[in-house]
Structure 1
Amino acid sequence: MSYSWKWFRAGRMQQVSLTCGADIAALAELDRKQWIALSMPTTGVRFDLRMLELMDTDHDGRIRTPEVLAAIDFLKAKNVDFDSLFSAGEAEEKALADVTAKQADLAALEPSADDKKALADWEAKGKTPEVAVAGDATADADAALAAVEPVIDAFFLPPEDMPLVTEDPDKELPLKDHLNPKHLEAILAFAEKCVKPVLGEEDMLSRLEWKKVKGAFAAYRAWVAAKPVMNAGKKGELDDEERVLRYKLHLVEFLENYVNMKRLYDLEDLAIFQTGVLRIDAKEMNLCFHVDSEAAHSALAERSKCCVIYLKLSRPSEGATRQICAVVTAGAVAQLYVGRNGVFYDRDGKDWEAVVTKVVEAQVSLREAFWAPWRKLGEGIAATVKKFLGDKQAAAQKNIEAGAQSAQAGGAAMASSVAAIGIGVGMVGAAAASLMAAISNMTALQIAISIVALILVVSLPSVILTWFKLRQRDLGAILNASGWAINRPMRFSIKRARGFTICAPCRLCRVLCWLFAIFVIAAVALYFACPCTKSCKPAAENPAPAPAAEAPAPAPAPAN
């Protein structure tokens, strides 16, 4: 019989609710399509890093769904009461501190006779020629090999990854000349410490020789991995105890940032990927994410339909720098530009100097959308006036630099300028007179309705389009850019957006909004309630009565 799940709605989607131990114990039965995340990095998050290390069983720097389920199975094998995960607190923290202290003391504990013998055998094997390829310098040589292994592997592309036709299938790697300065020092160290003991003095390295060098150090690497652990039994017990305690303390929080996103949509908590709070431009933004590469991150973040700003952080007192991005979800973005300074507060309370380095623009609020057409209109008028005045000033400057002119020519030019100004003033006056004439023929109610209609015609389309765009914003695209594998869209409402970005109250904007709302309501109410509405319409003109027919002239008197 399948488990009966409970659900809650957040981010315009149904998410599974984890409220008791039975919910966690049954997670293996939950359809993978209902999980919010399928994979996440172990870096760039605010979480217990030791627990992430324990969950990352393959040590690849990522947590995947099978590893999450393996952690739950581990607790089942240890007969842990899953309901206790929701009530873990000070007792578990104290027990964890005791276990950590015991683990530290274990290193100083005298190993058993069997452990000593195993360690001696292991050390003796490390002195054989098969393992000690470079003698006593084998450890340094292996480190030099590891430093260049990825770039040399990339240089010698595997045959199965080569194109059908290649210019030089047997190309060789130069070990001294024509090298990228970034890798020059590492390649020279590799040639001296690794190539020379295995192949002798070489200036070029072929694909087969590269495989031979790597193969020569395979035995050493296997020997290092096989080093016996002293007091292995006791260490294993302490490690298991530590794992249980850390899972008790933090597993619920992890699941509420992975299976669902309760922590993100809860106003009282912060998600593990929220790195702190940014204060800039009279705003407080808590949707801040760690960024490794601004270029790569911004290319994917554009798909989120969100306004994202990228910032470089620094703490001069510590010489530390880092990069983050912040999602702007409310207010306006006109004053957020490259070079703008702010302050970032991380989750530890440290303050960082923040400088905006890039802005991915998008609409963030309906209020901004309402004023956007008027702002563009004002900018257009200002640009036109500026261009007109600039042209006039340039022409005047040109005339001055041209030298003295005849009085007659100067008079003609002056007359021409005066005439041009007069024509312009006349046109403006005529337009104003026409507008005033039209207004004078309207009642106060008609004027109010016309103003409201004009404002709505200009602003309403922008508001409607922006409303649809705001509903399409997806934080999942931001997390995908940060290395997460997000399984479902992570939308957020306009109301929740105001919680992600808190703006300083603008009294003027609030007053204008209320005045406009009152004005619209009053105009509509007057239109439907005013008894003179009908009389406002022009009365139909009654045709003038036809003139009365003239009386016939009297007949002439008969002649006598």
Structure 2
Amino acid sequence: MNRKAHEWRFFRAGGFDQVRIDTGADLLALGDLDQKLWVALSCPTRGIEFDAHTLDLIDSDNDGHVRAPEVISAVNWAARLLKDCDLLAKGSATLPLVAINEATDEGAKLLAAARHILVSLGKPEADSVSAADTTDTARLMAGLRFNGDGIIAPAAVEDAVTKSVLESIIASLGSVTDAGGEKGVTKDLVERFFDQAREFDTWSLRAEQDQAILCLKEDTQLAATAWRAVRTKVDDYFTRCQMAAYDARAALPLSRSIEDYQQLAGKELSAGASEVAAFPLALVAAGQSLPLRNGINPAWSAAIVAFREQVVLPLLGNRDQLSAEEWADISGRFAAYEGWLADKPETQVEALGSAHLRMVLSGGHELALLELIAQDTALASEVEAIASVDRLVHYVRDLGALVNNFVSFRNFYTGVDKAVFQAGTLYLDGRSCELCIKVDDAGKHSTLANLSRVCLVYCECVNGSAKQTIAAAFTAGDSDQLMVGRNGIFYDRKGQDWNATIIRILEHPISIRQAFWSPYKRAGKMIGEQLQKFAAARSQAAETKLVTSALEAGKAPAEAPKAPPPPFDVGKFAGIFAAIGLAVGALGTALASVLTGLLDLRWWQMPLVLIGALLAVSGPSMLIAWFKLKQRNLGPLLDANGWAVNARARINIPFGTSLTGLARLPEGASALHMVDPFAEKKQRWPYYVGALLLIGMAWASWHWSALLFR
């Protein structure tokens, strides 16, 4: 039979339908809910006001994002381990032990693990476990000899000798950290150590079994080093002597010519000089033996002395010279040793020495360590249950809240609590902004966030050495006093205060009222700037003229008498006066037409005309602002932070107004002494001047109308 479809309930907020998730049945049916109805399909695990450990537990692929399938999987896993899923929907700071479903093997193991945790914490009588009890799982694991991770630490080994072997493994091959935070070894490390130890021991045994390899026993290595140090140079010497035997004429140049010595004569020489070391060991002659005491090249005398004492004396006895045949005999004796060294395996255990490695291999320690690792691995399921307790406790506490900030934005739109993406409250310019979002890069975030049509103010917040950047949405009031560099205070969700400074602004309409006055403010600003420029230019010109006149008065000679000005030309200026008269007449006619039309209106029609004139100026700005305010969308703000918002989450005018608080006197406050003693005194003369102007305009319009229609 087909399962009965779940009966969903929805509420409308933000201009779209959102699902209500109130019960465990709602959570269990999330897998069947069309994901087109989910408000979000993904959210980051960092940068939001939610427990990071819980998000990491849900993020099964550890990619830094929680996606819809992972949320569904977390709900289904928790539901299998609980008797009543309503506990998951409502949320609880603690997990009652009686709520765990022990009817399944997984639930029974989890219940046993929960009780073990309470016993480890000294609370065996407790009937519930909290996140504080399970968060430090490393501390819980540290109290166990075996923690199921397949890693054995020295503390878990009771036999002292086996423990020393384990420490040798760590010293040679390194270690890994177990669930309790201790350094230990795995099965792979143990097997690799003993494989290398056996290989090195096999190689060492060859020297003990073949006497030809260690021709001088324990002194062989030192002797071979002394022999190896002179081998090339002695071979060179005897080869030169053989060439001299082949041709007597070669003896002198092979011993180096007089010219070679003359090149050295002008230099400061030492026994270690490279030029000296390049000369032969001794004078070359046919059949000549190598002197071991006198007549040796100074650069090689120390090496020959060491060779004589460590090689020649033990092998051939006391000699002052060495023949070519005796040299060949010595080199042959070291051939086996050199071949044995060439076969030495590359291992990391060599530093422990052959004797120690042989002791390690002979005591059965490999089997002992592997048995301990097997015992540890056998407890993997029990220890894994401890981690499962931690997971379930966090899910019971947080999963319901996450779903109501993921599948729906219930917290944000209902105002019951702040949404997980709301970082805190910004106080600036007499307002409090509730929609504040953490951002990593203001420039990168603003590129996409600009599509939200929300007026955003990016602030750098500093608290001691800590810094963060937020984007605050201004959705009420105006933006006249918002400018880069202004300071405010930001309170995060923990109540900590941060110094906030504006570093960037995304300009968008905030309200219809602001749009109404914006044309007049722009016009007033433009006129003010032009007047300031004009006044500054006139002031600069006057100062320049004054300075120039003063300088010329001190340097220039007396000016010649100026020519008398030309007589006034009446004809020339008659046309100018006529043009001015026509212009004034035209303006007067236009003004008269307007005033006549106004005076012809009835009294109740005049306010309508004035309102129409205001709308003609402000109407386009208000209309554009209205369209943009209708388009405000939360999605781009969150998408720029890594969310995948799946709905057109509107921020309409009424809801937007609730997100930004304006300064108001507290309810019930008394307004005493509201007269400002430093307020500017009101001048009445502007009213008089205005009244006179209106009267003059009315008279002028009547007079010009009479003249025109006479």
* TM-score exceeds 0.5: yes
Residue in 1 that maps onto 2:628: 469
Distance 1:336 1:271 in 2: 26
2:137 and 2:387 in contact (8 A); partners too? no
Distance 2:78 2:16 in 1: 30
Distance 1:484 1:447 in 2: 55
1:108 aligns with 2:143: yes
Once the two structures are TM-superposed, the CA of residue 441 in structure 1 deviates from its matched residue by 6.0
SS across alignment from 2:95: helix
Residue in 1 that maps onto 2:439: 291
Deviations 1:300-349 (A, max 9, x none): 11111111111111112xx1111111111111112111111111100111
1:95 aligns with 2:161: no
Distance 1:468 1:375 in 2: 21
Residue in 1 that maps onto 2:422: 274
Deviations 1:355-405 (A, max 9, x none): 111111111111111111111121122233223323333332333233169
Distance 1:242 1:54 in 2: 9
CA 1:382–1:112 in structure 2 vs 1: closer, same or farther (change >3 Å)? closer
Deviations 1:267-305 (A, max 9, x none): 231011111111101110111111111221111111111
1:310 aligned to which of 433, 436, 458 = 458
1:111 and 1:230 in contact (8 A); partners too? no
Distance 1:371 1:229 in 2: 75
Which amino acid in structure 2 is aligned with residue 29 of structure 1? Answer: D
Residue in 2 that maps onto 1:139: none
Residue in 1 that maps onto 2:283: none
Once the two structures are TM-superposed, the CA of residue 3 in structure 1 deviates from its matched residue by 2.7
Residue in 2 that maps onto 1:532: none
CA 1:120–1:92 in structure 2 vs 1: closer, same or farther (change >3 Å)? closer
Once the two structures are TM-superposed, the CA of residue 63 in structure 1 deviates from its matched residue by 0.6
Residue in 2 that maps onto 1:121: 187
2:502 aligned to which of 347, 356, 374 = 356
2:534 aligned to which of 366, 375, 388 = 388
Residue in 2 that maps onto 1:256: 404
1:115 and 1:230 in contact (8 A); partners too? no
Which amino acid in structure 2 is aligned with residue 382 of structure 1? Answer: G
Deviations 1:448-487 (A, max 9, x none): 2332222222222222221111010111001000011111
Distance 1:486 1:358 in 2: 24
CA 1:333–1:46 in structure 2 vs 1: closer, same or farther (change >3 Å)? same
2:91 and 2:399 in contact (8 A); partners too? no
CA 1:120–1:493 in structure 2 vs 1: closer, same or farther (change >3 Å)? closer
Deviations 1:240-273 (A, max 9, x none): 1222221111111100111111111122310111
Distance 1:229 1:374 in 2: 79
Residue in 2 that maps onto 1:6: 9
1:50 aligns with 2:53: yes
TM-score scaled by structure 2? 0.51
SS across alignment from 2:129: helix
2:14 and 2:649 in contact (8 A); partners too? yes
* Pairs aligned (count): 401
Distance 1:112 1:235 in 2: 6
Which amino acid in structure 1 is aligned with residue 146 of structure 2? Answer: P
SS across alignment from 2:17: strand
TM-score scaled by structure 1? 0.64
Residue in 2 that maps onto 1:489: 648
2:147 and 2:380 in contact (8 A); partners too? no
1:339 aligns with 2:485: yes
1:245 aligns with 2:397: no
Residue in 2 that maps onto 1:399: 545
Once the two structures are TM-superposed, the CA of residue 102 in structure 1 deviates from its matched residue by 7.1
1:455 aligns with 2:614: yes
SS across alignment from 1:332: coil
Residue in 2 that maps onto 1:445: 604
Gaps of 5+ in 2: 97-127, 158-183, 197-345, 347-373, 554-558, 567-575, 667-710
Residue in 2 that maps onto 1:35: 38
Moved more, 453-462 or 366-375: 453-462
Which amino acid in structure 2 is aligned with residue 395 of structure 1? Answer: A
Gaps of 5+ in 1: 131-197, 199-225, 413-418, 508-560
Q: How large is the RMSD of aligned CA atoms in angstroms?
A: 3.7
SS across alignment from 1:343: strand
Residue in 1 that maps onto 2:296: none
2:23 aligned to which of 14, 20, 25 = 20
Residue in 1 that maps onto 2:87: 84
Which amino acid in structure 2 is aligned with residue 495 of structure 1? Answer: P
Once the two structures are TM-superposed, the CA of residue 2 in structure 1 deviates from its matched residue by 3.4
1:115 and 1:231 in contact (8 A); partners too? no
Which amino acid in structure 1 is aligned with residue 50 of structure 2? Answer: F
Which amino acid in structure 1 is aligned with residue 24 of structure 2? Answer: G
SS across alignment from 1:95: strand
Moved more, 80-89 or 276-285: 80-89
2:452 and 2:633 in contact (8 A); partners too? yes
Which amino acid in structure 2 is aligned with residue 282 of structure 1? Answer: G
2:432 and 2:661 in contact (8 A); partners too? yes
Residue in 2 that maps onto 1:371: 517
Which amino acid in structure 1 is aligned with residue 642 of structure 2? Answer: G
2:141 and 2:147 in contact (8 A); partners too? no
